[in-house]
Amino acid sequence: MICFLARFFVKDFEQVKLPKVRQGYGLLSGLTGIGFNIFLFLTKFMAGVISGSISIFGDAFNNLSDAASSIVTFIGFKLAGEEADEQHPFGHGRLEYIAGLIVSLFIILTGCEVVRTSVNKILKPQQVEFNATIAVILIVSILIKLLMFQGNLQAARKIDSKTLKSVAMDSISDVFTTSVVLASSIFAHKTGLIVDGFFGVFVGFFIIKTGYEAAKDTINPLLGEPPSKEFVDEVKSTVMNHEGILGVHDLMVHNYGPSRIIMSLHVEVPSDQNIVSVHDLIDDIETELRQKYHCSAVIHMDPVIMGDKETETYKSKTRKLLEDLSPELTFHDFRLIHHKNGEKRISFDVQVPYKYNLKDEKIIDYLTEHLQEGEENITLDIDIDKMTKDE
Protein backbone atom coordinates (compact mmCIF):
# COMPACT_ATOMS: atom_id res chain seq x y z
CA MET A 1 0.00 0.00 0.00
CA ILE A 2 2.69 2.54 1.02
CA CYS A 3 4.90 1.59 -1.92
CA PHE A 4 1.92 1.85 -4.27
CA LEU A 5 1.03 5.34 -3.02
CA ALA A 6 4.69 6.37 -3.27
CA ARG A 7 4.47 6.01 -7.05
CA PHE A 8 2.07 8.97 -7.10
CA PHE A 9 3.21 11.13 -4.18
CA VAL A 10 7.00 10.61 -3.84
CA LYS A 11 9.31 12.08 -6.46
CA ASP A 12 12.02 9.63 -7.62
CA PHE A 13 10.32 6.95 -5.50
CA GLU A 14 12.78 4.29 -6.65
CA GLN A 15 15.82 6.20 -5.33
CA VAL A 16 15.24 4.95 -1.79
CA LYS A 17 18.73 5.84 -0.52
CA LEU A 18 18.03 9.55 -0.97
CA PRO A 19 16.97 11.23 2.31
CA LYS A 20 14.03 13.06 0.70
CA VAL A 21 12.69 9.83 -0.80
CA ARG A 22 12.95 8.03 2.55
CA GLN A 23 11.16 10.96 4.12
CA GLY A 24 8.36 10.67 1.56
CA TYR A 25 7.75 7.00 2.41
CA GLY A 26 7.73 7.81 6.13
CA LEU A 27 5.28 10.68 5.73
CA LEU A 28 2.92 8.49 3.69
CA SER A 29 3.06 5.82 6.40
CA GLY A 30 2.27 8.39 9.07
CA LEU A 31 -0.67 9.93 7.21
CA THR A 32 -2.30 6.62 6.26
CA GLY A 33 -1.77 5.34 9.81
CA ILE A 34 -3.47 8.40 11.31
CA GLY A 35 -6.49 8.03 9.04
CA PHE A 36 -6.98 4.27 9.42
CA ASN A 37 -6.38 4.19 13.18
CA ILE A 38 -8.79 7.03 13.97
CA PHE A 39 -11.44 5.27 11.86
CA LEU A 40 -10.81 1.98 13.71
CA PHE A 41 -10.88 3.68 17.11
CA LEU A 42 -14.29 5.27 16.43
CA THR A 43 -15.87 2.07 15.10
CA LYS A 44 -14.47 -0.14 17.88
CA PHE A 45 -15.39 2.40 20.54
CA MET A 46 -19.01 2.24 19.35
CA ALA A 47 -18.79 -1.55 19.34
CA GLY A 48 -17.48 -1.42 22.91
CA VAL A 49 -20.34 0.85 24.00
CA ILE A 50 -22.87 -1.52 22.44
CA SER A 51 -21.33 -4.69 23.86
CA GLY A 52 -19.89 -3.45 27.16
CA SER A 53 -16.78 -5.52 26.42
CA ILE A 54 -13.59 -4.32 28.12
CA SER A 55 -11.44 -6.22 25.61
CA ILE A 56 -13.13 -4.37 22.72
CA PHE A 57 -12.69 -1.08 24.58
CA GLY A 58 -9.04 -1.96 25.14
CA ASP A 59 -8.61 -2.79 21.47
CA ALA A 60 -10.24 0.54 20.55
CA PHE A 61 -7.86 2.55 22.71
CA ASN A 62 -5.00 0.51 21.35
CA ASN A 63 -5.95 1.92 17.92
CA LEU A 64 -6.11 5.41 19.42
CA SER A 65 -2.54 5.00 20.68
CA ASP A 66 -1.64 3.71 17.21
CA ALA A 67 -3.00 6.98 15.77
CA ALA A 68 -0.75 8.89 18.20
CA SER A 69 2.14 6.65 17.11
CA SER A 70 1.40 7.48 13.48
CA ILE A 71 1.52 11.20 14.34
CA VAL A 72 4.92 10.62 15.97
CA THR A 73 6.06 8.68 12.88
CA PHE A 74 4.95 11.55 10.63
CA ILE A 75 6.70 14.19 12.75
CA GLY A 76 9.80 12.02 13.15
CA PHE A 77 10.27 11.53 9.41
CA LYS A 78 9.48 15.19 8.79
CA LEU A 79 12.19 16.38 11.18
CA ALA A 80 14.66 13.63 10.20
CA GLY A 81 14.58 14.90 6.63
CA GLU A 82 15.80 18.37 7.60
CA GLU A 83 19.19 19.40 6.27
CA ALA A 84 22.30 19.66 8.45
CA ASP A 85 22.89 22.93 10.30
CA GLU A 86 25.48 24.50 12.59
CA GLN A 87 24.14 22.73 15.67
CA HIS A 88 23.70 19.38 13.89
CA PRO A 89 26.46 19.09 11.25
CA PHE A 90 25.59 15.44 10.58
CA GLY A 91 21.90 16.12 9.96
CA HIS A 92 18.82 15.05 11.91
CA GLY A 93 18.49 11.46 10.68
CA ARG A 94 18.55 9.88 14.14
CA LEU A 95 15.22 11.53 14.88
CA GLU A 96 13.74 8.68 12.84
CA TYR A 97 15.07 6.24 15.44
CA ILE A 98 13.77 8.41 18.27
CA ALA A 99 10.35 8.43 16.63
CA GLY A 100 10.46 4.63 16.47
CA LEU A 101 11.37 4.48 20.16
CA ILE A 102 8.45 6.75 21.09
CA VAL A 103 6.12 4.55 19.04
CA SER A 104 7.39 1.54 21.01
CA LEU A 105 6.73 3.31 24.34
CA PHE A 106 3.18 4.13 23.22
CA ILE A 107 2.65 0.44 22.51
CA ILE A 108 3.97 -0.60 25.94
CA LEU A 109 1.88 1.99 27.81
CA THR A 110 -1.23 0.90 25.95
CA GLY A 111 -0.56 -2.72 26.89
CA CYS A 112 -0.14 -1.77 30.56
CA GLU A 113 -3.44 0.10 30.56
CA VAL A 114 -5.26 -2.82 28.91
CA VAL A 115 -3.89 -5.18 31.58
CA ARG A 116 -4.98 -2.83 34.38
CA THR A 117 -8.54 -2.43 33.13
CA SER A 118 -8.79 -6.15 32.37
CA VAL A 119 -7.81 -7.08 35.92
CA ASN A 120 -10.57 -4.80 37.20
CA LYS A 121 -12.97 -6.55 34.83
CA ILE A 122 -11.93 -9.94 36.26
CA LEU A 123 -12.57 -8.71 39.80
CA LYS A 124 -15.91 -7.13 38.80
CA PRO A 125 -17.21 -9.19 35.86
CA GLN A 126 -20.10 -7.93 33.72
CA GLN A 127 -22.05 -9.70 31.01
CA VAL A 128 -21.18 -8.52 27.48
CA GLU A 129 -23.34 -8.29 24.39
CA PHE A 130 -22.41 -9.67 20.98
CA ASN A 131 -24.13 -9.46 17.61
CA ALA A 132 -23.43 -9.53 13.89
CA THR A 133 -22.68 -5.80 13.72
CA ILE A 134 -19.89 -6.12 16.31
CA ALA A 135 -18.50 -9.17 14.48
CA VAL A 136 -18.39 -7.27 11.17
CA ILE A 137 -16.63 -4.31 12.81
CA LEU A 138 -13.94 -6.56 14.28
CA ILE A 139 -13.46 -8.53 11.04
CA VAL A 140 -13.11 -5.32 8.99
CA SER A 141 -10.60 -4.08 11.57
CA ILE A 142 -8.54 -7.24 11.13
CA LEU A 143 -8.51 -6.85 7.35
CA ILE A 144 -7.49 -3.17 7.56
CA LYS A 145 -4.67 -3.98 9.98
CA LEU A 146 -3.45 -6.76 7.69
CA LEU A 147 -3.33 -4.23 4.85
CA MET A 148 -1.41 -1.77 7.06
CA PHE A 149 1.02 -4.53 8.16
CA GLN A 150 1.76 -5.54 4.57
CA GLY A 151 2.16 -1.93 3.41
CA ASN A 152 4.46 -0.82 6.22
CA LEU A 153 6.56 -4.00 6.15
CA GLN A 154 7.08 -3.69 2.39
CA ALA A 155 8.04 -0.02 2.79
CA ALA A 156 10.32 -0.81 5.74
CA ARG A 157 12.23 -3.35 3.66
CA LYS A 158 12.39 -1.03 0.67
CA ILE A 159 13.91 1.92 2.57
CA ASP A 160 15.52 -0.18 5.35
CA SER A 161 13.63 1.58 8.15
CA LYS A 162 13.45 0.20 11.70
CA THR A 163 10.73 2.73 12.50
CA LEU A 164 8.40 1.48 9.76
CA LYS A 165 9.21 -2.07 10.81
CA SER A 166 8.03 -1.17 14.33
CA VAL A 167 4.83 0.27 12.85
CA ALA A 168 4.34 -2.92 10.83
CA MET A 169 4.88 -5.15 13.88
CA ASP A 170 2.38 -3.04 15.81
CA SER A 171 -0.17 -3.64 13.04
CA ILE A 172 0.31 -7.42 13.04
CA SER A 173 0.02 -7.46 16.84
CA ASP A 174 -3.29 -5.62 16.41
CA VAL A 175 -4.42 -8.35 14.00
CA PHE A 176 -3.66 -10.92 16.69
CA THR A 177 -5.24 -8.97 19.56
CA THR A 178 -8.41 -8.15 17.61
CA SER A 179 -8.68 -11.81 16.62
CA VAL A 180 -8.43 -12.75 20.29
CA VAL A 181 -11.09 -10.17 21.17
CA LEU A 182 -13.38 -11.59 18.45
CA ALA A 183 -12.79 -15.14 19.68
CA SER A 184 -13.49 -14.19 23.32
CA SER A 185 -16.71 -12.41 22.31
CA ILE A 186 -17.93 -15.43 20.32
CA PHE A 187 -16.94 -17.78 23.17
CA ALA A 188 -18.80 -15.69 25.76
CA HIS A 189 -21.85 -15.42 23.49
CA LYS A 190 -22.01 -19.19 22.91
CA THR A 191 -21.22 -20.39 26.45
CA GLY A 192 -22.43 -17.57 28.67
CA LEU A 193 -19.08 -17.62 30.51
CA ILE A 194 -17.61 -14.18 31.27
CA VAL A 195 -14.00 -14.50 30.11
CA ASP A 196 -13.67 -10.98 28.73
CA GLY A 197 -11.23 -9.82 31.44
CA PHE A 198 -8.98 -12.87 31.09
CA PHE A 199 -8.72 -12.42 27.33
CA GLY A 200 -8.05 -8.71 27.93
CA VAL A 201 -5.07 -9.52 30.18
CA PHE A 202 -3.70 -11.81 27.48
CA VAL A 203 -4.15 -9.08 24.87
CA GLY A 204 -2.44 -6.51 27.13
CA PHE A 205 0.64 -8.64 27.74
CA PHE A 206 0.94 -9.41 24.04
CA ILE A 207 0.86 -5.67 23.29
CA ILE A 208 3.58 -5.06 25.90
CA LYS A 209 5.75 -7.80 24.36
CA THR A 210 5.35 -6.27 20.89
CA GLY A 211 6.35 -2.83 22.21
CA TYR A 212 9.41 -4.23 23.97
CA GLU A 213 10.68 -5.97 20.84
CA ALA A 214 10.08 -2.85 18.75
CA ALA A 215 11.99 -0.75 21.31
CA LYS A 216 15.04 -3.02 21.06
CA ASP A 217 15.18 -2.50 17.29
CA THR A 218 15.29 1.29 17.68
CA ILE A 219 17.56 1.52 20.74
CA ASN A 220 20.40 -0.42 19.10
CA PRO A 221 21.13 2.11 16.31
CA LEU A 222 20.85 4.96 18.84
CA LEU A 223 23.48 3.33 21.07
CA GLY A 224 25.60 2.33 18.08
CA GLU A 225 25.62 -1.05 16.39
CA PRO A 226 27.98 -2.71 13.92
CA PRO A 227 27.11 -2.70 10.22
CA SER A 228 25.59 -5.87 8.82
CA LYS A 229 27.88 -8.53 7.38
CA GLU A 230 26.21 -8.03 3.99
CA PHE A 231 27.02 -4.31 4.03
CA VAL A 232 30.65 -4.92 5.09
CA ASP A 233 31.13 -7.56 2.38
CA GLU A 234 29.60 -5.26 -0.23
CA VAL A 235 31.87 -2.33 0.71
CA LYS A 236 34.95 -4.55 0.72
CA SER A 237 34.00 -5.99 -2.66
CA THR A 238 33.55 -2.49 -4.08
CA VAL A 239 37.02 -1.46 -2.89
CA MET A 240 38.78 -4.69 -3.89
CA ASN A 241 37.44 -4.39 -7.44
CA HIS A 242 40.00 -1.63 -8.00
CA GLU A 243 43.33 -2.79 -9.38
CA GLY A 244 46.21 -2.16 -7.00
CA ILE A 245 44.30 -2.77 -3.74
CA LEU A 246 45.73 -5.71 -1.78
CA GLY A 247 43.38 -5.75 1.20
CA VAL A 248 40.75 -3.90 3.24
CA HIS A 249 40.45 -3.75 7.02
CA ASP A 250 39.39 -1.57 9.97
CA LEU A 251 36.10 -0.63 8.32
CA MET A 252 34.18 1.64 10.70
CA VAL A 253 30.64 2.88 10.03
CA HIS A 254 29.06 5.68 12.02
CA ASN A 255 25.30 5.88 11.56
CA TYR A 256 23.72 9.32 12.00
CA GLY A 257 20.43 8.05 10.66
CA PRO A 258 19.45 6.03 7.57
CA SER A 259 21.19 7.38 4.45
CA ARG A 260 23.47 9.47 6.69
CA ILE A 261 26.56 7.33 7.02
CA ILE A 262 30.17 8.24 7.75
CA MET A 263 32.62 5.44 7.06
CA SER A 264 36.37 5.06 7.38
CA LEU A 265 38.56 2.17 6.31
CA HIS A 266 42.15 1.14 5.70
CA VAL A 267 43.33 -0.23 2.37
CA GLU A 268 46.59 -2.04 1.73
CA VAL A 269 48.60 -1.03 -1.35
CA PRO A 270 52.05 -2.06 -2.65
CA SER A 271 54.73 0.11 -1.05
CA ASP A 272 56.65 0.48 -4.35
CA GLN A 273 53.78 2.28 -6.13
CA ASN A 274 53.95 5.97 -7.00
CA ILE A 275 52.38 7.85 -4.07
CA VAL A 276 50.60 10.35 -6.34
CA SER A 277 49.02 7.53 -8.37
CA VAL A 278 47.93 5.75 -5.18
CA HIS A 279 46.47 9.00 -3.83
CA ASP A 280 44.45 9.44 -7.04
CA LEU A 281 43.23 5.84 -6.75
CA ILE A 282 42.13 6.42 -3.15
CA ASP A 283 40.26 9.56 -4.23
CA ASP A 284 38.45 7.59 -6.94
CA ILE A 285 37.40 4.89 -4.44
CA GLU A 286 36.15 7.49 -1.94
CA THR A 287 34.09 9.13 -4.67
CA GLU A 288 32.59 5.79 -5.71
CA LEU A 289 31.66 4.96 -2.11
CA ARG A 290 30.05 8.39 -1.63
CA GLN A 291 27.97 8.01 -4.78
CA LYS A 292 27.00 4.40 -4.15
CA TYR A 293 26.08 4.67 -0.46
CA HIS A 294 25.32 8.40 -0.16
CA CYS A 295 27.87 8.60 2.63
CA SER A 296 31.03 10.39 3.65
CA ALA A 297 34.02 8.08 3.15
CA VAL A 298 37.60 8.48 4.38
CA ILE A 299 40.31 5.96 3.42
CA HIS A 300 43.66 5.50 5.12
CA MET A 301 46.46 4.02 2.99
CA ASP A 302 48.65 1.23 4.42
CA PRO A 303 51.76 0.50 2.30
CA VAL A 304 52.71 -3.19 2.17
CA ILE A 305 56.24 -4.35 1.29
CA MET A 306 56.00 -7.10 -1.31
CA GLY A 307 58.50 -9.94 -1.64
CA ASP A 308 60.70 -9.02 1.38
CA LYS A 309 61.98 -12.34 2.82
CA GLU A 310 62.62 -10.99 6.32
CA THR A 311 59.09 -9.54 6.53
CA GLU A 312 57.58 -12.80 5.27
CA THR A 313 59.57 -14.74 7.89
CA TYR A 314 58.18 -12.64 10.75
CA LYS A 315 54.67 -12.79 9.25
CA SER A 316 54.82 -16.59 9.10
CA LYS A 317 56.02 -16.76 12.70
CA THR A 318 53.23 -14.43 13.83
CA ARG A 319 50.62 -16.44 11.93
CA LYS A 320 51.83 -19.68 13.57
CA LEU A 321 51.76 -18.11 17.05
CA LEU A 322 48.19 -16.93 16.60
CA GLU A 323 47.07 -20.29 15.20
CA ASP A 324 48.53 -21.97 18.28
CA LEU A 325 46.40 -19.69 20.45
CA SER A 326 43.17 -19.99 18.46
CA PRO A 327 42.02 -20.26 14.82
CA GLU A 328 39.69 -17.32 15.60
CA LEU A 329 42.64 -14.89 15.79
CA THR A 330 43.90 -13.17 12.65
CA PHE A 331 46.15 -10.21 11.91
CA HIS A 332 46.61 -7.52 9.28
CA ASP A 333 48.57 -4.37 8.43
CA PHE A 334 51.86 -6.15 9.15
CA ARG A 335 54.96 -3.98 8.71
CA LEU A 336 58.65 -4.40 9.46
CA ILE A 337 60.36 -1.04 9.92
CA HIS A 338 64.15 -0.64 9.95
CA HIS A 339 65.54 2.31 11.93
CA LYS A 340 68.86 4.03 11.17
CA ASN A 341 70.40 2.89 14.47
CA GLY A 342 69.97 -0.75 13.46
CA GLU A 343 66.87 -1.37 15.52
CA LYS A 344 63.74 -2.92 14.03
CA ARG A 345 60.06 -2.42 14.83
CA ILE A 346 57.24 -4.80 13.98
CA SER A 347 53.80 -3.26 13.77
CA PHE A 348 50.50 -5.10 13.17
CA ASP A 349 46.87 -5.39 14.33
CA VAL A 350 45.32 -8.54 15.79
CA GLN A 351 41.61 -9.18 15.27
CA VAL A 352 40.05 -10.63 18.42
CA PRO A 353 36.38 -11.62 18.85
CA TYR A 354 34.34 -9.90 21.54
CA LYS A 355 34.16 -11.92 24.78
CA TYR A 356 37.27 -13.90 23.83
CA ASN A 357 38.53 -16.05 26.72
CA LEU A 358 41.96 -14.32 26.86
CA LYS A 359 42.38 -10.67 27.82
CA ASP A 360 43.95 -8.35 25.25
CA GLU A 361 47.00 -7.81 27.47
CA LYS A 362 47.64 -11.55 27.65
CA ILE A 363 47.57 -11.87 23.86
CA ILE A 364 50.01 -8.96 23.45
CA ASP A 365 52.34 -10.35 26.15
CA TYR A 366 52.28 -13.79 24.50
CA LEU A 367 53.17 -12.41 21.06
CA THR A 368 55.82 -10.04 22.44
CA GLU A 369 57.56 -12.79 24.40
CA HIS A 370 57.82 -15.17 21.44
CA LEU A 371 58.58 -12.63 18.69
CA GLN A 372 61.33 -10.99 20.75
CA GLU A 373 62.81 -14.34 21.74
CA GLY A 374 66.46 -14.35 20.65
CA GLU A 375 66.15 -10.80 19.31
CA GLU A 376 67.91 -7.91 21.08
CA ASN A 377 67.14 -5.04 18.76
CA ILE A 378 63.44 -5.46 18.01
CA THR A 379 60.39 -3.69 19.43
CA LEU A 380 56.74 -4.47 18.88
CA ASP A 381 53.72 -2.25 18.23
CA ILE A 382 50.62 -4.44 18.50
CA ASP A 383 47.03 -3.15 18.42
CA ILE A 384 43.93 -5.19 19.22
CA ASP A 385 40.91 -4.88 16.90
CA LYS A 386 37.63 -6.17 18.26
CA MET A 387 35.42 -7.98 15.77
CA THR A 388 32.08 -9.73 15.62
CA LYS A 389 31.79 -13.45 14.88
CA ASP A 390 30.69 -12.68 11.31
CA GLU A 391 33.79 -10.68 10.36
Tens digit of pLDDT for each residue in 320-333?
999 998 888 988 88
Assess whether 260 and 352 both reside in one domain: no
Radius of gyration of the chain (CA): 29
Tens digit of pLDDT for each residue in 268-291?
888 888 889 999 999 999 999 988
State in Å, rounded, how far the first CA of the chain is from the last one. Answer: 37
Provide the pLDDT for residue 389: 52
Assess whether 171 and 198 both reside in one domain: yes
Assess whether 273 and 319 both reside in one domain: no
To 10 degrees, the CA torsion angle through 248, 250, 254, 259?
10
Provide the pLDDT for residue 117: 76
Assess whether 111 and 249 both reside in one domain: no
Tens digit of pLDDT for each residue in 348-370?
889 888 888 888 999 999 999 89
Tens digit of pLDDT for each residue in 210-253?
788 878 877 877 777 777 788 888 999 999 999 989 888 888 88
The answer on pLDDT for 162 being more than 60 is: yes
pTM of the model: 0.61
Assess whether 7 and 88 both reside in one domain: yes
Assess whether 178 and 278 both reside in one domain: no
Provide the pLDDT for residue 241: 93
The answer on pLDDT for 27 being more than 70 is: yes
Assess whether 292 and 321 both reside in one domain: no
Tens digit of pLDDT for each residue in 128-152?
667 787 788 888 889 998 999 999 9
How far apart CA 239 and CA 282 sit, in angstroms, is 9
Q: Which of 1-5, 93-97, 236-240 is predicted most confidently?
A: 236-240
**Helix, strand, or coil here: 322?**
helix
Residue where one domain finishes, among candidates 223, 257, 287: 223
Provide the pLDDT for residue 391: 53
Assess whether 313 and 244 both reside in one domain: no
Q: For 151-169, what is the mean pLDDT?
A: 85
To 10 degrees, the CA torsion angle through 183, 185, 189, 194?
110
In sequence order, what E strands does 83-211 have?
A: none
Assess whether 349 and 262 both reside in one domain: no
Residue where one domain finishes, among candidates 275, 303, 331: 303
Contact 269, 302 (CB under 8 A): yes
State how beta strands 261-270 and 295-304 pair: parallel
**74 — phi, psi (to 5°)?**
-60, -50
**Got the DSSP string for 178-233?**
HHHHHHHHHHHHHH----HHHHHHHHHHHHHHHHHHHHHHHHHHHH--PPPHHHHH
Confidence of residue 163 (pLDDT cuts 50, 70, 90): confident
Provide the pLDDT for residue 280: 93
Provide the pLDDT for residue 256: 76
Provide the pLDDT for residue 128: 64
Residue where one domain finishes, among candidates 171, 203, 223: 223
Q: How many domains does the chain have?
A: 3
Provide the pLDDT for residue 388: 60
Assess whether 34 and 158 both reside in one domain: yes
- Higher pLDDT: 54 or 205? It is 205
CATH number for position 337: 3.30.70.1350
Assess whether 209 and 263 both reside in one domain: no
Return the closest-CA partner of residue 235 out of 267, 283, 187, 210: 267
CATH number for position 120: 1.20.1510.10
Give the DSSP H/E element, type plus range, for residue 326. Answer: none
Q: Which domain holds residue 293?
A: 229-303
For the chain, the residue count is: 391
Assess whether 180 and 49 both reside in one domain: yes
State how beta strands 378-387 and 247-255 pair: unpaired
